[in-house]
A and B are shown apart, each in its own frame.
Chain A
Amino acid sequence: MSKFEFPESIKSRPVYGTLEPRPGKSHLMIADAEGAEAILGLAVQDPSLMAKTHIIYIPKGTDFGDKLRALNPAQYYEGPSYAASVQRLRHVLENAHQGLQVYLTGTEGLMGQAQNEAMQAGIPHTAIQTEHRGSVARRMQCVHCKGITEDVMTDPFVCSHCGLNLFVRDHYSRRLAAYQGVCIDAEDPGNVPEPKELYT
């Protein structure tokens, strides 16, 4: 299993659930890496879903693709990255109708960004299901230069844009789909604690 119990935190931090089949006219499932396992689980719970399902999957080096394809969804797309898949996602949402159910699963960065697209298309965030699977890496925004660093695994880390040493906060932005990174050595430049892996 690829599940991880996140520790309790501040209210800003997103809380993820467990995907469940819901009644709907059509279903859109978006996953990366181990998120595929959650989709396989949905298909076991309700095999009839797949006839009305569009799966958008980003393997990130895993080999779940064949298993997902074998579910025989109405549409299946595999993309090399989220950025490469977002055009298709927008196109699907643009042409979607009320009654579409959205299921997001995998890493926080993927779920956050896809949720943002779905919200902009008119779905309330409370109606979008999420389930975390796989890597606990975070998508971080540097509050100083506003640059985004993907897949951050340590705290502190170095901003990939401006090079500042950033402290990983639980303060999250739904609009940016990113956590906030704040300079850790502003008052005493160079005094940076040893980076630690997240949640260790």
Chain B
Amino acid sequence: MSAAPQKAKPGAEAIAVTVSAVVPLNDLVTRFEFKRSDGEAFPTFSGGAHTVITMNDDGRTRLNPYSLMSDPADTSTYAISVRREDKGRGGSLFMHTRVKVGDEMTLTYPVNLFSLDLRARKHLFFAGGIGITPFMSMIAQLERMNGNWELHYSVRSEALGTYVDELKYKFPNKVHVYYDDQSQSIPLEHLLDGQPLGTNAYVCGPKGMIDWVHATASAAGWPDAQVHSEEFLKPEPGKEFEVRLCKSDKTITVGENESLLEAIERAGVAAPFLCRGGACGQCETDVVKADGEFIHRDHWLDDDQHASGEKIMPCVSRFLGSLELDR
């Protein structure tokens, strides 16, 4: 295929699926497995890819991204593992309390913002809690090509160690688990020291952990290009605000508990998106007029762009005052 620039579309193409299994793994995490409703094979994906799942929550549409954690070569099933966030916006609670085997749902085609660098001589994985999910598919991919990897996985306790038993059973020499409640922690400096040239490090977990790995590796002389991370932000609630959409000639109100992107979609305006977590850049929108204060929360725009007030990422960022967008 040619590399012709693609017009930003409202999201990736969707696949209709049927829930084939709901497997509770521990008090917080449940795995959901899907088959295609049309009986066809799923597209293959690459380790680290995510999908955006559409939830119909009594008329309110929720679109949440989750890492695919099944084997990328298995085209019969897609699986995600969802951690229940009791104080979240409700997407994970919906998955945990409402989704049953046999339900019809929609997933987007996989998109990968956290892929393996296959030039790496070795892959060094750092996972924290539910951050284990992208590594499950990466490990499956690497095992098939005899890749060189090791995993350092930090969990709260044995009871909350999602997939710990499975990983330790299958890869006893490659998987290292650290339990918070036993005062164990990843010996990061020691692990970064002495890795063969061309090793790439990957981290997925809480923001503090991601920052810690980046800073420690950088201080030890690791090239930035060889330290990869993925953090999906969640849209945070905030004060209601009004937005005028110039191209569509509509004025919308963004509610306290919805994101700007969700409000645009609710008004029936097609807006591009991929990750819905401030990382991919797909939903970048031009600001026509702004009277008030931006609350930028994305990882996409740089500090200068944030300060310029000319762009906003509607998936996670908000505004205090009145705003006019080129949408």
Asked if A pairs with B, the answer is yes
The residues of B that contact A23 with a CB separation of less than 8 Å are 218-221
Tell me the interface secondary structure of chain A in the complex: loop
The residues of A that contact B120 with a CB separation of less than 8 Å are 122
- A99 and B197 CA atoms in complex are apart in Å by 8
Given contacts A98-B192, A99-B192, are A126 and B197 in contact (CB under 8 A)? no
User: Is A74 close to B, CB under 8 A?
Assistant: no
User: Is A22 close to B, CB under 8 A?
Assistant: yes
Q: What is the 8 Å Cβ interface bit string for chain A, positions 15-53, against chain B (1 contact, 0 not)?
A: 000000011110000000000000000000000000000
Determine how close the nearest CB of chain B comes to the CB of A114; give it in whole angstroms. Answer: 14
Interface size on A, residues (CB 8 A): 17
Q: Select A96's contact among B192, B197, B220, B226, beta carbons within 8 Å.
A: B197
The residues of B that contact A97 with a CB separation of less than 8 Å are 193-197
Q: Which residue of A lies closest to B222 (CB)?
A: A98
User: Is B119 close to A, CB under 8 A?
Assistant: yes
Q: Which residue of A lies closest to B119 (CB)?
A: A122
The residues of A that contact B221 with a CB separation of less than 8 Å are 22-25, 98-101
User: Is A123 close to B, CB under 8 A?
Assistant: yes
User: Is B102 close to A, CB under 8 A?
Assistant: no
- A93 and B197 CA atoms in complex are apart in Å by 8
User: Is A61 close to B, CB under 8 A?
Assistant: no
Contact yes or no, B225 A124, CB < 8 A: yes
User: Is A121 close to B, CB under 8 A?
Assistant: yes
Given contacts A25-B193, A99-B193, are A123 and B222 in contact (CB under 8 A)? no
The residues of A that contact B196 with a CB separation of less than 8 Å are 97-98, 122
Contact yes or no, B197 A25, CB < 8 A: no
Which of B121, B221, B225 is packed against the most chain A CB atoms within 10 Å? Answer: B221
The residues of B that contact A22 with a CB separation of less than 8 Å are 221
Closest 6 pairs (CB-CB, A-B): A122-B198, A24-B221, A127-B223, A99-B221, A98-B195, A124-B225
Besides A24-B221, A25-B220, A127-B225, 10 more A-B contacts (Cβ < 8 Å) are A24-B220, A93-B197, A97-B193, A97-B196, A97-B197, A101-B221, A122-B119, A122-B120, A122-B121, A123-B197
- Which residues of A are in contact with B by a Cβ distance under 8 Å? 22-25, 93, 96-101, 121-124, 126-127
| 7 A–B contacts, CB within 8 A, in A order | A22-B221, A25-B193, A98-B198, A121-B197, A122-B198, A122-B199, A123-B197
